[in-house]
């Protein structure tokens, strides 16, 4: 019960954050030359779409990760709150990045700002996992031990990856945005769970979503367990 | 279970998008001549009401469509995310269209912008349906085969209709807005499900909503199944 | 099931509209004389509190009214959508009224604008009730027939009351705001359900909320039934 | 059932308020010197993080407090509405405080304004508790009598604490912000429930969240009961 209320609260926060993103696209300054104004906002639209995908995929991830937990305790609640903090904050760097690219000013700063937010987010995911999985504190009994170490490795790789993305942001803001999109697609395709030999018959649970979903900032392996 | 959480997440996004629409009506610039200022905003109000109806009817549609699915898989989740993207984006073109009509500047551009958003939305609905219904991938067994082809036809007509609406937007922004309202009313009246010979007794399930609801961008036939 | 999803969707819209209200209070223009700036915004704060109470009490009302329905059909869904439209719109006139009173400009127009929104809202409540209760279309069998006529009378009185409030708004904006507050308190106190002889033992259902709640724009009698 | 719908409505309001907080961080004024602009907004970010923590911890508190209630009545609903009013209002003083600190103007007024909001919030929590616990009106039978008086004492201390914080706000805005953060951490650590001798084996309910969570403005003791 309590676990499901924390999930419902988190779902609400995800749903609101993803919908608020649209407010990050600046209104036209004038309507005389509207088509030019709208066209000039394409970086805002691109940043909007990338952040939308990131939050959407993270929702799926959150859903799956919590599926592997037997219960929730106070520590996990606070780490989850930290995670939600980084997600609800995302509309701000999204708006800044989009506007900065549209203006062609401060693009490096804006990209690094967005990248750092994502890196902190990756750390929050890892902290959540390390806390919940350490000594199997909150894991379901059915979560296989051999996958635990792999998941920890993959979460760590995620942190490294998003730290490296900060470096890319230093070099070029557009390259960074493309990298963010690529990372989102990579996690969405969930290559880990699709590698040969991983396909299992599994129980006919009618629960396809839980199996084989991979998401931004988290190892896809986890999702087989939920 | 997972299906219901995706539905709940989607419901949240619909509810937030429909409520955020009010932010698209620009605040009065001055209060000395307030009645004039408010009266001049009637196109914003009209665009607000149309978009509100569109999102509300789409919610009903989404609800009914998902009722015909046995389960949800990863592909459907991503297509649903794409659909939600077009819906959460709607407040932006709504605001632009309303303000443009109020100013009498850039109305053609604004109407085309709104129309293109709706056309992309129609494509997202079709893609969702084609994915879910192809080889009956996710359909309930109780969904009759003969209705599947009809639904596909109707979804395709929807895409064509919204593509044609882009053309109307090129001609006249007010005509386009009226067309949007007419399309919403058409789908809301759900003529397909009401044609003679379609009324069935049906089980006394107390579930009137599922049967006979028709919505923007989707064929009403679908809704008999949920 | 479907009824509960429409209720959940409506709950979401109520929750978002009530929370968005805070955005209607204008940011300070300068921070040098902040205490003066904040003090000058008291009408915005008053309008905020009144609208917050109105939406909160309406949520309770909605909750209770739907408790008297056996099921939901398409017509009710659309009338409910109309009702939600008037509620999600409320932040706009609330912001306009607050700012207008703070500036001391356009107060009559702003008050009439708010009053008309509330009158349309009262009509939406009545339409919902007349549709659902006509020939007992959607009412639970347990809803007593003698209360149906009374409820219709009380809903009609509500429409008349809110129509009269438009007249008060024409006379004085502050008097109108005070009247709105008084109406909210009146409905919240629910005098109808508390009149002598109405107190019943009732089943020890542990469900105190359903019994005896009265709300803005609706007759309290209804709530005994849910 | 009704209790759970009031909880769901409240959860929605908490989730939206916590997500709207991001809108309180002002957009950059220019992008030429973006890194400087962003750095200058650190007080807004600090206020954002503190308010986020406050609302998140209060959600947990609300969750736990309602867990000790057997049922909800009309009076409690209105007191809960008052509580939600103070929570949904919080983004406004958060934005004002952040901007005021960034500008270095009106900081005392902004801090007092935030502090008063929190003090009213503490009163709303106390009123909710006193109403629900008075003559055990709404408490579960399993809630031990000896803890009732202690909880009342702790709620009263909370009111005194937040009243004293208004005084700190008069002296220094930064000290006040630090105090808010410290109070949030204090309640989050929940020292009351962790004092020696309080650890009980408890039933293996798998419900760790209910036990031992402490939150801003409420005594942690309460949470053992839910």
Contact D109 C35 (CB under 8 A): yes
CA A84 – CA A78 distance, rounded (Å): 10
- Residues in Cβ contact with B49 at an 8 Å cutoff, skipping those fewer than 6 apart: C85
**Each residue of D145-158: pLDDT tens digit?**
888 888 898 889 98
The residue assigned the tokens 């676990």 is A3
Q: Are B9 and B77 in contact (CB under 8 A)?
A: no
User: How far apart, in whole angstroms, are the C-alpha atoms of residue C14 and residue C1?
Assistant: 20
Q: What does each C-alpha distance from A44 to A16, A56, A115, B96, B124 come to in angstroms?
A: 19, 18, 16, 15, 21
Distances (CA, A) of B92 to A48, A109, A192, C49: 12, 26, 37, 29
Whole-number pLDDT of residue B222: 46
Check if the beta carbon of residue B89 is closer than 8 Å to that of residue A22.
yes
- C-chain CB neighbours of B52 within 8 Å are 81, 85, 88
Residue B112 has pLDDT above 90, yes or no: yes
Scored b (16 or more CB within 10 A) or e, B148-165 reads beebbebbeebbebbeeb
Helix residue ranges per DSSP H, B42-144:
42-67, 74-89, 91-103, 107-133
Among D49, D188, D209, select the one facing A85 at the smallest CB separation. Answer: D49
Phi/psi at C215 (nearest 5 deg)? -140, 155
| Closest chain B C-alpha to C173 CA, distance in angstroms | 14
Residue D218 main-chain phi, psi, to 5 deg: -135, 150
Q: Let me know: does B76 contact B142? Beta carbons within 8 Å.
A: no
Indicate the SS3 state at residue D212: coil
Rounded mean pLDDT, B42-62: 94
* Residue C43: CB atoms within 10 Å: 21
**In this model, does residue A222 exceed pLDDT 50?**
no
B120 near B128, Cβ under 8 Å? no
> To the nearest 10°, the Cα dihedral for A104, A107, A108, A111?
-160
Is residue A29 over pLDDT 80?
A: yes
Query: Mapping DSSP to helix (H, G, I), strand (E, B) and coil, where does residue B188 land?
Result: helix
DSSP assignments along D46-92, one per residue: HHHHHHHHHHHHHHHHHHHHHHTBS---HHHHHHHHHHHHHHHHTHH
C69 beta partners: C139
Which DSSP string do the residues of D102-153 spell out, in sequence order?
HHTSSHHHHHHHHHHHHHHHHHHHHHHHHHHHGGGSSB-TTS-HHHHHHHHH
> Alpha-carbon distance A200 to C66, whole Å?
46
Lowest mean pLDDT among A215-224, B86-95, B111-120, B174-183: A215-224
Tens digit of each residue's pLDDT (9 = 90 or more) over B185-217:
887 876 555 444 444 443 333 344 443 333 345
* DSSP three-state, residue D139: strand
Averaged over B71-85, what is the pLDDT? 94
Name the band, by pLDDT with cuts 50, 70 and 90, for residue A215.
Answer: very low
Confidence of residue A17 (pLDDT cuts 50, 70, 90): very high
Q: CA B139, CA A204: separation in Å to the nearest integer?
A: 16
Residues from chain D that touch C207, judged by Cβ atoms under 8 A, are 1-2, 71
Residue D203 has pLDDT above 80, yes or no: no
Taking the alpha carbons of B25, B31, B37, B38 in that order, is the dihedral positive or negative?
positive
Sequence-distant contacts of D190-193: CB under 8 A, at least 24 apart = D190/A74, D190/D214, D190/D215, D190/D220, D190/D223, D191/D220, D192/D154, D192/D219, D192/D220, D192/D221, D193/D220, D193/D221, D193/D223, D193/D224
The reported pLDDT for the residue numbered C192 is 52
With 60 as the cut, is the pLDDT of residue D11 above it? yes
Rounded to whole angstroms, the Cα distance separating D172 from B123 reads 57
**Residue ranges of the alpha helices (H) in chain A?**
2-20, 34-40, 42-67, 74-89, 91-103, 107-133, 145-171, 173-189, 191-194
Q: How far apart are CA A150 and CA C15, in angstroms?
A: 41
Q: How far are the Cα atoms of B92, C10, C121, C158, C182 from residue C80, in angstroms, in the given order?
A: 25, 8, 11, 17, 26
Distance CA A147, CA D45 (A): 38
Q: Which residues contact A119 (CB under 8 A, 6 or more apart)?
A: A159, A162, A163, A165, A166
Interface test with C, best of D4, D9, D120 (most C CBs within 10 A): D9
Q: What is the C-alpha to C-alpha distance for residues A221 and A61, in angstroms, rounded to an integer?
A: 11
pLDDT at A112 over 80: yes
Q: What is the mean pLDDT of residues A96-124?
A: 96
Calculate ∠ Cα B48-B53-B56, nearest 5°.
120
Q: Which two tokens stand for residue A185?
A: 């697609």
Q: Which of A141-150, B41-50, B136-145, B210-219 has the lowest mean pLDDT?
A: B210-219
The pLDDT value recorded for residue D190 is 65
Which residues, including other chains, have CB under 8 Å from residue B89's CB and lie 6 or more apart?
Answer: A22, A48, B117
Chain A residue numbers with beta carbons less than 8 Å from the beta carbon of B86 are none
Q: Map residue C61 onto helix, strand or coil.
A: helix
CA distance C219 to C221: 5
Asked which of A7-21, C109-123, D8-22, D179-193 is least confident by mean pLDDT, the reply is: D179-193
- Count of pairs with CB atoms under 8 A, one residue in A, one in B: 98
Task: Compare CB distances from A209 to B23, B72, B109 and report the shortest one's residue.
Answer: B72
**List of residues 6+ apart from D117 with CB closer than 8 A:** D86, D89, D90, D93
Cβ-based contacts of B25 with chain C (< 8 Å): 92
Residue B137: pLDDT band with limits 50, 70, 90? confident
Q: How far apart are CA D122 and CA C28, in angstroms?
A: 26
Q: How far apart are CA B154 and CA B161, in angstroms?
A: 10
Q: Are C110 and B34 a contacting pair at CB < 8 A?
A: yes
φ, ψ of residue D161 to 5 degrees: the values are: -60, -45
CA-nearest of B211, B187, B194 to B122 is B187
**HSE-up (13 A, CA, CB side) for residue B86:** 23
Q: How confident is the model at residue A191 (pLDDT cuts 50, 70, 90)?
A: low
Q: Which pLDDT tens digit goes with each residue over B6-47?
A: 999 999 999 999 999 999 999 999 999 999 999 999 999 999
Binned at pLDDT 50, 70 and 90, residue A192 comes out as: low
Please give the span between the terminal C-alpha atoms of chain D, in angstroms, as a whole number: 17
| pLDDT > 50? residue D116 | yes
Give residue ranges of A with CB < 8 Å to any B CB. 7-8, 11-12, 14-16, 18-23, 25, 27-28, 30-35, 38, 48-49, 52-53, 56-57, 59-60, 63, 188, 190, 206-210, 212-213
pTM of the model: 0.88
Q: How far is CA C105 from the centre of its chain?
A: 27
Percent of chain B surpassing pLDDT 90: 63
Nearest CA-CA partner of C88 in C130, C117, C46, C47: C117
Neighbours of C108 (CB within 10 A): 16
Q: Which has the closest alpha carbon to B208: A48, A171, C71, C113?
A: C71
Residue of C nearest to B10 (CA): C9
Whether the Cβ atoms of residue D16 and residue D89 lie closer than 8 Å to each other: no
Mean pLDDT per block of 10 residues along chain C (226 residues) reads 85 95 93 94 95 94 90 93 97 96 95 97 95 90 87 89 95 94 83 47 40 41 41
pLDDT at A226 over 60: no
Spatial neighbors of C151 by CB under 8 A, at least 6 apart, are: C129, C133, C219, C221, C222
DSSP letter, residue B28 = P
**What are the two backbone dihedrals, phi and then psi, of residue B141, each rounded to the nearest 5 degrees?**
-60, -30
Measure in Å the smallest separation between the Cα of A55 and chain D Cα atoms.
13
Measured in whole angstroms, how far is the alpha carbon of residue B97 from the centre of its chain?
17
Q: Which helix (H) or strand (E) holds C187?
A: helix C173-189
DSSP assignment, residue C32?
T
Q: What one-character-per-residue DSSP string does C73-106 give?
A: -HHHHHHHHHHHHHHHHTHHHHHHHHHHHHHTSS
Report the alpha-carbon distance of residue D170 to residue B34 in Å, rounded.
Answer: 39
The tens digit of pLDDT for each residue in D131-148 reads: 999 888 889 988 888 888
Worst-scoring range by mean pLDDT, B79-88, D17-26, D113-122, D141-150? D141-150
Question: Alpha carbon D22 to chain centroid distance?
Answer: 18
* A95: nearest CB among D14, D15, D27: D27
Task: Give the model confidence (pLDDT) of D28-58 as tens digits.
Answer: 999 999 999 999 999 999 999 999 999 999 9
Question: Across chain C, what does the average pLDDT equal?
Answer: 84
Question: Is residue A52 very low, low, confident or very high in pLDDT (cuts 50, 70, 90)?
Answer: very high
């Amino acid at each position: 019960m309590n676990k499901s209320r924390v999930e419902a609260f988190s779902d609400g926060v995800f749903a609101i954050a993803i919908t608020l993103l649209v407010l990050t696209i600046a209104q036209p300054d004038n309507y005389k030359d509207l088509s030019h104004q709208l066209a000039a906002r394409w970086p805002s639209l691109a940043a909007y779409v990338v952040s939308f995908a990131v939050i959407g995929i993270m929702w799926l991830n959150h859903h799956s990760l919590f599926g592997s937990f037997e219960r929730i305790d106070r520590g996990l609640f606070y780490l989850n709150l930290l995670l939600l903090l980084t997600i609800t904050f995302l509309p701000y760097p999204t708006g800044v990045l989009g506007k900065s690219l549209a203006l062609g000013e401060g693009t490096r700063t804006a990209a690094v700002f967005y990248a750092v937010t994502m890196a902190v987010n990756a750390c929050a995911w890892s902290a959540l996992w390390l806390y919940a999985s350490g000594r199997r504190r909150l894991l379901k009994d059915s979560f296989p031990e051999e996958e635990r170490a792999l998941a920890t490795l993959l979460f760590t790789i995620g942190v490294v990856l998003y730290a490296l993305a900060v470096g890319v942001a230093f070099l070029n803001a557009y390259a960074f945005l493309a990298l963010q999109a690529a990372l989102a697609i990579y996690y969405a395709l969930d290559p880990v769970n699709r590698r040969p030999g991983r396909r299992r018959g599994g129980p006919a649970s009618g629960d396809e979503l839980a199996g084989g979903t991979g998401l931004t900032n988290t190892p896809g392996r986890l999702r087989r367990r939920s």
